[in-house]
């Protein structure tokens, strides 16, 4: 019995020493990094408009330079232009002008052809959301975001520009910057006109495409100001256009009325922003906006007897 007790005591000591000799589980160890040192997301690409060698005309021309971006152009100089990032669809890509989203409740697709690069400073594309805490719910809900930031004028200036292109395209514009006390005022006007009559081969002959004209006007006014610890700005935007849709080219007799569809747009919005810093820990960001959009789509059966008579009106108000 005494020998059995000694053997059990020895085995207990060996098992205890073996347990103490085991190494610690490596899965428990972890490293914690600060969010300030390692941002969650970053801009996929950012372009300063002033540094471009050949300045493009529209925002869509800049986005074509980005990686992983598809710019869809629905019909020439006056067609709808949308952006698609990582094949998510244009309805999941948010477009923000000075931190305020540009809405379109009808089809959730923003027409980038309505905006030019006059007065813009930076065009940024974010793969997801920015790593900032002061963001709106719309910014958090977008799969990808395009940010357009306006350049703040620094001195009085007057700029006149006239551009032209094929198919009777003319694009005149004027920009005026003026200091008003401690504030800066910017007023810009822009017009795009094109007849859209271009020649194309049609089996054994050459035809001229009809009903592809465009006439668009844009008028903007912006006011910039600074506070002790921040800045603010107000923006008024007006846009009006009338255009035709050429329609498809298929084998028909010469002179057949291909298309008689017309569309007129009237867009207006006023927005404002205020950013204030209250030290190293606290800051305030306020964004307000009111938008009123109108679209009129109609057809002319007298020009195309086979077309269905449409006279549709769409109105949208958002804020």
Task: Average the pLDDT over each of 27-36, 54-63, 220-229, 278-287 and give the range with the smallest value.
Answer: 27-36
Mean pLDDT of 6-34: 54
Answer yes or no: are the C-beta atoms of 72 and 78 closer than 8 Å: no
95 pLDDT higher than 50: yes
Task: Average the pLDDT over each of 45-49, 172-176, 197-201, 256-260 and give the range with the smallest value.
Answer: 256-260
What does the pLDDT read at residue 19?
A: 47
Q: pLDDT grade, residue 18 (50/70/90)?
A: very low
For domain 43-318, give its CATH number from 2.170.130.10, 2.20.130.10, 1.10.3720.10, 3.40.50.720: 2.170.130.10
User: What is the separation of C-alpha 176 from the centre of its chain, rounded to a whole number of angstroms?
Assistant: 25
CA 50/CA 57 separation, integer angstroms: 13
**Helix residue ranges, H only, 78-220:** 137-141
**Helix residue ranges, H only, 153-273:** none
Q: Using one digit for the tens of pLDDT, what is the confidence trace for 211-236?
A: 888 899 999 999 999 998 899 999 99
What does the pLDDT read at residue 62?
A: 83
**Residue 251 tokens, joined:** 């084998």
**Helix residue ranges, H only, the chain:** 2-20, 59-63, 137-141
What does the pLDDT read at residue 287?
A: 92
What does the pLDDT read at residue 223?
A: 96
Q: Using one digit for the tens of pLDDT, what is the confidence trace for 134-160?
A: 888 888 888 888 889 998 998 899 999
- The CA distances from residue 33 to 36, 40, 43, 144, 301, in Å, are 9, 11, 20, 25, 67
What does the pLDDT read at residue 269?
A: 95
Q: pLDDT grade, residue 1 (50/70/90)?
A: low
CA 212/CA 244 separation, integer angstroms: 5
The pTM is what? 0.78
CA 250/CA 209 separation, integer angstroms: 12
β 144-150/100-101 pair status? unpaired
């Amino acid at each position: 019995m005494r020998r059995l007790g000694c053997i059990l005591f020895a085995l207990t000591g060996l098992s205890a020493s073996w347990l103490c000799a085991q190494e610690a589980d490596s899965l428990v160890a972890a490293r914690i990094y600060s969010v300030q040192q390692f941002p969650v997301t970053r801009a996929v690409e950012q372009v300063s408009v002033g540094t471009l060698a050949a300045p493009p005309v529209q925002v869509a021309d800049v986005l074509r330079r980005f990686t992983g971006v598809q710019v869809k152009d629905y019909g020439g100089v006056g067609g709808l232009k949308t952006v698609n990032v990582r094949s998510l669809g244009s309805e999941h890509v948010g477009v923000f002008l000075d931190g305020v989203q540009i809405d379109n409740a009808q089809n959730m697709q923003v027409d980038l052809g309505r905006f030019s690069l006059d007065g813009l400073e930076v065009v940024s594309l974010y793969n997801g959301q920015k790593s900032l805490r002061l963001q709106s719910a719309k910014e958090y809900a977008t799969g990808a975001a395009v940010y357009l930031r306006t350049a703040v004028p620094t001195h009085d200036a007057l700029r006149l520009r006239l551009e032209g292109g094929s198919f009777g395209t003319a694009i005149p514009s004027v920009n005026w910057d003026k200091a008003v006390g401690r504030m800066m005022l910017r007023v810009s006007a822009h017009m795009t006109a094109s007849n859209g009559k271009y020649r194309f081969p049609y089996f054994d002959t050459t035809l001229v495409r009809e009903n592809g004209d465009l006439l668009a006007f844009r008028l903007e006014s912006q006011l910039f100001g600074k506070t002790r610890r921040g800045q603010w700005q107000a923006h008024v935007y007006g846009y009006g256009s009338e255009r035709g849709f050429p329609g498809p080219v298929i084998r028909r007799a010469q002179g057949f009325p291909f298309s008689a569809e017309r569309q007129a747009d009237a867009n207006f919005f006023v927005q404002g922003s205020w950013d204030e810093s209250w030290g190293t820990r606290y800051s305030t960001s306020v964004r307000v906006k009111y938008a009123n959009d109108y679209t009129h789509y109609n057809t002319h059966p007298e020009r195309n007897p086979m077309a269905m008579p449409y006279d549709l009106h769409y109105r949208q108000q958002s804020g």
